[in-house]
Amino acid sequence: MVMACRVINKRRHVGLQQLSSFSGTGRTFLGPVKSSKFIVDEEHHESILISSVVRLLESLDLTSAVGQLLNEAVQTQNNTYKTGTSTLLFLVGAWSSAAEECLHLGVPISLIVSVMSEGLNSCIEEVVSLQVPIHNIFDHIDSTKTFSGLETCGVSLCPFLQIPSDTGLQKVHDLKDVASPSLTVYNLSGIPVRSPKLFRLQAEDEANKNTLQNPQTLKKSLLADSRCRKSILIHSRHFNRTDSNRWINKPEGFLEQHGAATPRTYRCNDLVELEMGLSHGDHNSMKLVDAAVRLQFQNASTQQGNCTIPFMFDISRIFTCCLPGVPETFSCVCPGYITVVSISNTTLIKELQNQPVQIILIEGDLTENYRHLGFNKAANINTLLESMKVQQDSSEEQWTDYVLQVLIKFNVTLVLVQGNVSEDLIEKCMHSKRLVIGSVNSSVMQAFAEASGAVQVAYITQVNENCVGSGVCVTFWRSIPSDVIDRINILTIMIKTEGINLVTVVLTSPLPAQMQAREDRFWTCAYRLYYALREQKVFLGGGAVEFLCLSHLQILAEQSLSKRNHVCSGWLHNTSSWLASSLALYRSTVLKCLANGWHKYLSALMYNTANCSSELGASTVIQQHLQSATDSGSPSSYILNEYNKLNSGIFNSGISNKLEQIPSVYDIVAPKTEAWRRALDLVLLVLQTDSEIITGLGHTQINSQETEAAKMDVFSLCLHVFPLYLCPNFLFL
Amino acid sequence: MSRLEAKKPSFCKSEPLTSERVRATLCVLKGILTSSYGPSGRLKQLHNGLGGCVCTTSQSSALLANLSVTHPILKILTTSMQNHVSCFSDCGLFTAILCCNLIENVQRIGLMPTTVIKLNKHLLSICTSYLQSEFCGCRILVDFSSTQTLLCLVRSIVTSKPACMLTRQEIDHISALILRAFLLTIPENTKDCLILGKSIIVPLKGQRVTDSTVLPGILLEISEVQLMKILPIKKSDTFKVALFCASLSGDLSDTGEGTVVVSSGVSLENAVLDQLLNLGRQLVSDHIDLVICQKVVHPSLKQFLSMHRMIAIDRVGAALMEPLSKVTGTQPIGSLGSISPSSYGSVKDLCTEKFGFKHFLHLIPNEATICSLLLCNRNDTAWDELKLTCQTALHVLQLTIKEPSVLLGGGCTETHLAAYIRHKICNEPESILQDDGCTQTELQLLTEAFCSALESVAGSLEHDGGEILTDMKYGHFWSAQPESPSAVDCPDLLSRCGCGLYTSQEELRWSFLKSTRHPFAPQTCLPHEAVGSANNLTLDCFTAKLSGLQVAVETANLILDLSYIIEDKN
């Protein structure tokens, strides 16, 4: 695989530079509009289409120590939360440049580490004020209002990104000046994508003036009644506000704005609104997630009757079935298990239809040679043939016959196997009208175990009457027109049983190359909703939290400049070091560098979503917002005000005729803040590393990252030490 | 057909230490060690360059284990350091740096090795007897009635490992957990001798550090499928436990060499399985509730056991066997034959728990000196470092129970000790001169070499170019901004000494550590009220540091004494 690597400046910290250059490869994945990448393998003439950071890193050569650490961090984030990896990758780059900048300015490493680390802590405390609690979302779930209904109005009526500007922003930027007047962004499938953002340019495109909305939309836009947001502000000891217009904590815990005409409380208790906010422009995927959640909810309510236990969205009971080569519009959600079987099963399925069948579940492979994990087959056993009886059957055939006998004995018609199944057996079973399906997902097995009463076993010999489940139906699944499905020559079947807690999401894509990206996108949306519901809170999204971090850090930086306060001396682990007393000297520099990382993040976000035609333009807009936020005295209330303007729609109508419903954008809390932490941790880990020691004997390959200075007489030690941080007085130089 | 090869002659080298190559490699090794020392020490990425996992660390145990040195002199050094670390866990870098410093300083003054060794031994004995004496000015007796001192000790250890990547709150959280885990291993009622239990570290990578927790008893990880199969645990006073160390997987264990011939129609596998099921029947008749196996249990046996309402947990691993046997009071069963009823044990309660994405079966024993420390960290390399750190801290706490004193950390013990020795040698050199028959000059040269070796260990704590000062009253360690000659006269720039015991408010005089100064008598006998009032002290383990000092001096003596290296090249 080929990797673009920028020229690494040899006078600086090599590790940090590597991080920056790795991170640069993923910047187009930031935000809701992701550009896909082709990865071309020049040796094997293969190429793959990717649109996520995890897939990108899978294709990159990350054998260097720093690359491996980066990959490890991204993988852990992905394994734990399944989201936040592009944020992680971007911030790694932005903050490694920030750390390098600090080094360049002569800030001692230990100070960079403590100030950056505590600065981010302070940000994480600060953004609590932008949390929106989610309460009892399933108590008043509206079955008539589904995601798809709202989505069509949202997308079809306002296919453009432009939003009338707010007053806080001076009319400086006019997109007429910019080379690309069209603001419409199309994703690969040709569906316009819109992404509500906090920051928008004033765009006075002539064409947009025609997009007048009808009063009906206005009504819908005033959904604000049902949308209440409650925010909790934790008073930060780092951030003492002295202005009058601030948010205070009322005794009952509701946030109220002083000086505002009417106090508002905020919360999100509408599922569609939440999903809309979490879709980040990917309505197609979120529509499917919405349908899946509703199916699970209905299933849970019917199972429980009067539900006593609050409904929890169980993501492990969502299964995806990918059908490449089918147009995207056929994606859908169905209860039960939908899978693809060989077309030769058609007659068998026909016979099995319309009658409940008995089922068994096999945990391992269903082959003669399969033994459970940890079983060691003795190699030195010979079987002696005592008589000269001619063996009629091979042991394989004997085994197959035995399996069939068991199936007949317990009247089992359906066998789900987690591992592989012997081809012979499938054949024989088909003749005796039994269906065996291999490579079944473990959560599907679990769902069938629960619903049908079957017990999973490892060997066919273990099967007894207690292990057999019943009441399972097998039918053709014909939601996709036969002319479409016949073209790709597969057979889709649905296996169901009464009350099974399993939902299959059928994902289709006309291009097989896009199939994986489609599945990844679905899971991203599903996990976003899952974490939002599990944490029972979300952040205001669209860059609001990042913007608050940025302005908070700027205020902190200025405070430490003006006051030189010693409040922050606790920011250092080691208070007796001279670094503690000189902390005030460097604190604002480091905080500014950290804030620059957020600035870069926001500009890249705006640029990627085509809110701005250049990152420079985006940067200017952010700068202006930042100024207004600082002037307002309380950045968090500034952001909330901006949000109100966007959400209510009332403000917009006063300015122009353009009226549209702008749903809130939400972000998940813990996965996001953990991605920040992980990114900074990785940067600080690499920053504090001064050398790379390659151990072991007998290898000649020396990393290409070493400089001339690394040629040291250490080979008698049989180790290679490469200084990562080329400090002039470093011992190895 | 055999081939004879002439033996190569052995390789003999005299005065190995004078070789430029040896000096250079020693210098590189010292560079690696000193740059890693202390809370702001720089980290090292260790990997094999072939895509193996990357270890980012600044701990001596990880560094020394991965450095494959070939030169005999370096081998002596690293082996004795590793030996020290395996016995005491802590103060490995201190020992190694001190040893390197001693070798370097002694080489510079060019005295006869025999004189050096004799005098070094003398100085070492002065150090050890001072540190152990009642009037020692850098030792604090541990007050077990409060957790303050122990908490400071643990926090100092955790703080000194920057590769754990912990924030302040996380350091506090982890330190408190380590101390709690340790306290849980102390038996409630003891008669004659105290037998400490064990803290088992359970990995939970990828979660937040603050999600780490301590639980009494043992956590056994189980898969979700296994969890599903565990029936609701019935309430009971005690649960009877059988613990197997033999594999119950049903394979033919060790058929030996040669070939086993069986007649057709005989299935050895089935025969073994029958034996396993017989075993299962015995467990049923003995009313066992929980079967734990170190290795694999055959699925059929598991099915049989679960049909009889028994919980079977397999693949717990060798590391958990000893604590399991201790907690449950079982004898691990090693054969499939009949089981003596005395090998069974029991637990008080059983429950299933979920942490992160992992499910656990929690065994709550009757009398617990075993606890589980569920340790979380964001990434693998930081988790590995944190695990090592926790093990070190737990070990240090054990050592502190045995010898209930701690030493002042943050470089203060080293500078104080150096000041004490300088003063002692200056004022009463007679005792040593009489014994060893060396001259006054030799004694002064060596004392200076010894003391500056100690002081430069303390100086290695500084990695950002700051100046190191020492005060003329207590002989403690103070750090000051680089290039600020005024620091000596301007106490405002200094806040607290290295260990945090003294502040610059007092009328103190300072001098640079590197500069020559007149010997002064550092104040001995730590006042009790000073120690009691100061919180957040940086402390070191007494036993580990004392042993480190001895190991460093003795290893340096050994290396200085080498006159020939004879290598067998065959």
CATH number of the domain enclosing B283: 3.50.7.10
Determine, yes or no, domain membership for B397.
Answer: no
CB-CB under 8 Å, B494 with A578: yes
pLDDT at A206 over 70: no
Lowest mean pLDDT among A236-245, A345-354, A534-543, B214-223: A236-245
Closest in B229, B379, B500 to A576, CB measured: B500
pLDDT at A604 over 60: yes
Tens digits of residue pLDDT in B285-312: 999 999 999 999 999 999 999 989 899 9
Interface pTM (ipTM) of the complex?
0.90
Q: Write the DSSP assignment of A249-293 as a string of letters.
A: E-TTS-EEETTSSS---B-B--HHHHHHHHHTT-HHHHHHHHHHH
Residue B338, number of CB atoms within 10 A of its CB: 9
Give the residue among A720, A726, A718, A724 at the shortest CA–CA distance from A691: A724
Going by pLDDT thresholds of 50, 70 and 90, the confidence category of residue A152 is very low
Chain B, 292-351: which have a CB under 8 Å from a chain A CB?
A: 295-296, 298-300, 303, 307, 314-315
Amino acid identity at A82? K
Amino acid identity at A510? P
Determine, yes or no, domain membership for B431.
Answer: yes
Arithmetic mean of pLDDT, A494-512: 91
CB-CB under 8 Å, A446 with B298: no
Give me the pLDDT at residue A386, please: 58
Determine, yes or no, domain membership for B461.
Answer: yes
Chain A nearest C-alpha distance from B189 (Å): 38
pLDDT at B223 over 60: yes
| pLDDT cut 70: percent of chain A above it | 69
pLDDT at A319 over 60: yes
Going by pLDDT thresholds of 50, 70 and 90, the confidence category of residue B254 is low
Q: Does B83 touch chain A (CB under 8 A)?
A: no
Question: Residue B448's domain spans which residues?
Answer: 11-138+409-567
Give me the pLDDT at residue B492, please: 64
Contact at 8 Å (CB) between B209 and B170?
yes
Q: Are residues B556 and B470 in the same domain?
A: yes
Record: fold of A315-369+396-536: GroEL (3.50.7)
Q: Are residues B354 and B423 in the same domain?
A: no
Give me the pLDDT at residue B356, please: 84
Q: Are residues B460 and B357 in the same domain?
A: no
Give me the pLDDT at residue B523, please: 85
Q: Are residues B362 and B274 in the same domain?
A: yes
Inter-chain CB pairs, A–B, below 8 Å: 274
Give the residue among A59, A384, A338, A572 at the shortest CA–CA distance from B538: A572
Beta partners for B199?
Answer: B371
Chain A nearest C-alpha distance from B447 (Å): 27
CB-CB under 8 Å, B49 with A699: yes
Closest in A66, A571, A678 to B379, CB measured: A678
Going by pLDDT thresholds of 50, 70 and 90, the confidence category of residue B533 is low
pLDDT at A253 over 70: no
Please report residues of A whose CB lies closer than 8 A to that of B410.
574, 576
Q: What is the largest CA-CA distance in chain A?
A: 103
CB-CB under 8 Å, B493 with A578: yes
pLDDT at A698 over 50: no
The CA-CA-CA angle for residues B350, B351, B354, to 5°, reads 145
Q: Are residues B349 and B426 in the same domain?
A: no
Tens digits of residue pLDDT in B361-377: 999 988 778 999 999 99
Arithmetic mean of pLDDT, B512-517: 78
| pLDDT cut 90: percent of chain A above it | 33
Nearest CA in chain B to A118: B167
Residues in chain B: 570
Nearest CA in chain A to B22: A716
Going by pLDDT thresholds of 50, 70 and 90, the confidence category of residue A144 is low
pLDDT at A235 over 50: no
**Number of domains comprising chain B:** 2
Q: Are strands A689-694 and A192-193 parallel, antiparallel or unpaired?
A: unpaired
Domain C-terminal end among B314, B333, B367: B367
CB-CB under 8 Å, B225 with A685: no
Give me the pLDDT at residue A57, please: 87
Give me the pLDDT at residue A308, please: 66
Chain A nearest C-alpha distance from B125 (Å): 31
Give me the pLDDT at residue A306, please: 58
Going by pLDDT thresholds of 50, 70 and 90, the confidence category of residue A148 is low
Tell me the pLDDT of chain B averaged across its residues: 88
The CA-CA-CA angle for residues A552, A558, A559, to 5°, reads 85
Give the residue among A92, A405, A693 at the shortest CA–CA distance from B66: A693
Tens digits of residue pLDDT in B191-218: 778 888 899 999 998 788 999 999 999 9
Residue carrying the six token digits 């560094």: B63
Chain A interface disruption, residue of B47, B48, B263, most A CBs within 10 A: B47
Lowest mean pLDDT among A227-231, B55-59, B278-282, B541-545: A227-231
Determine, yes or no, domain membership for B445.
Answer: yes
Residue that wins the pLDDT comparison between B394 and B258: B394
Arithmetic mean of pLDDT, A238-253: 34
CA distances from A629 to A298, A551, A640 (A): 45, 7, 11
Please report, for chain A, the start and end positions of each structural domain, with discontinuous segments joined by +: 4-134+540-568+579-697+714-718, 315-369+396-536
Say yes or no: domain A4-134+540-568+579-697+714-718 is CATH 1.10.560.10: yes
Nearest CA in chain A to B226: A456
Arithmetic mean of pLDDT, A359-363: 94
Give me the pLDDT at residue B122, please: 92
Q: Are residues B67 and B15 in the same domain?
A: yes
Give me the pLDDT at residue A74, please: 93
Q: Give CA–CA dist A403/A463, Å, rounded.
A: 10
CB-CB under 8 Å, A713 with B25: yes
Give me the pLDDT at residue A200, please: 47
3-state secondary structure of B315: coil
Q: Give CA–CA dist B40/B463, Å, rounded.
A: 7
Closest in B228, B494, B498 to A446, CB measured: B228
Residue B455: enclosing H or E segment and its boundaries?
Answer: helix B440-459
Give me the pLDDT at residue A142, please: 65
Arithmetic mean of pLDDT, A48-71: 86
Closest in B28, B382, B410 to A717, CB measured: B28
Most confident of A403-407, A515-519, B527-531: A403-407
Arithmetic mean of pLDDT, A338-342: 91
Arithmetic mean of pLDDT, B497-508: 82
Going by pLDDT thresholds of 50, 70 and 90, the confidence category of residue A250 is very low
pLDDT at A518 over 50: yes
Closest in B34, B159, B264 to A385, CB measured: B264
Chain B, 368-387: which have a CB under 8 Å from a chain A CB?
A: 378-382
CB-CB under 8 Å, B56 with A721: no
Chain B, 165-184: which have a CB under 8 Å from a chain A CB?
A: 165, 167-169, 171
CB-CB under 8 Å, A693 with B44: yes
Closest in B249, B300, B536 to A459, CB measured: B300
pLDDT at A517 over 70: yes
Chain A nearest C-alpha distance from B129 (Å): 29
| CATH value at residue B99 | 1.10.560.10
CB-CB under 8 Å, A576 with B498: yes
Arithmetic mean of pLDDT, B173-187: 94
Arithmetic mean of pLDDT, A170-189: 32
pLDDT at B275 over 80: yes
pLDDT at B433 over 70: yes
CB-CB under 8 Å, A69 with B56: yes
Residue carrying the six token digits 């550092």: B522
Give me the pLDDT at residue A307, please: 54
Determine, yes or no, domain membership for B92.
Answer: yes
Please report residues of B whose CB lies closer than 8 A to that of A382.
259-262
Tell me the pLDDT of chain A averaged across its residues: 74
Arithmetic mean of pLDDT, B138-143: 90
Arithmetic mean of pLDDT, A508-525: 90
Beta partners for A692?
Answer: A722, B45
Beta partners for B340?
Answer: none
Arithmetic mean of pLDDT, A470-495: 86
Please report residues of B whose CB lies closer than 8 A to that of A574.
39-40, 159, 410, 538
- Sign (positive/negative) of CA torsion B297, B299, B304, B307? positive
Q: Give CA–CA dist B273/B251, Å, rounded.
A: 9
